Amino acid sequence: MEIECMCLECGISLYLQTSSLVLGSFIEGDKRLVDNTFCSQCGGPLLAVGKAGEQRNYIVSSDHLTGLNSS
Ligand SMILES: [Zn+2]
């Protein structure tokens, strides 16, 4: 099984095998930091956000927000 992990520094998503991960402390309620793996792009800490394939809307487009503020 794979889970989706989001980098806390640069915000990219990585899909990692759960068997190779060590999960650490809980933050933001039900999400957990990954203790033994770091971002392949920037080396930042990773947050386990859910199973691979789940559509989570945690990435917010700045273009979309601009449209909402037009009123
Ligand atoms: Zn990163």
Q: How far is the CA of 65 from the centre of ligand 1 (A)?
A: 23
* pLDDT the model gives residue 18: 87
Distance CA 52, CA 13 (A): 10
Q: How far is the CA of 36 from the centre of ligand 1 (A)?
A: 15
Statement: the pTM of the whole predicted model exceeds 0.75: no
Domain count, the chain: 1
Rg of the chain taking only CA atoms, in angstroms: 14
User: Tens of pLDDT along the chain (71 residues)?
Assistant: 899 999 999 999 999 998 989 999 998 788 899 999 999 999 999 999 888 776 555 554 444 444 444 44
* pLDDT the model gives residue 6: 94
> Distance of CA 2 to CAs 13, 21, 54, 59, 61, Å?
12, 10, 11, 19, 25
* pLDDT the model gives residue 65: 46
Task: Decide the pairing of beta strands 45-51 and 31-38.
Answer: antiparallel
Q: How far is the CA of 70 from the centre of ligand 1 (A)?
A: 32
Whole domain around residue 57: which residue ranges? 2-68
* pLDDT the model gives residue 55: 58
Q: How far is the CA of 42 from the centre of ligand 1 (A)?
A: 4
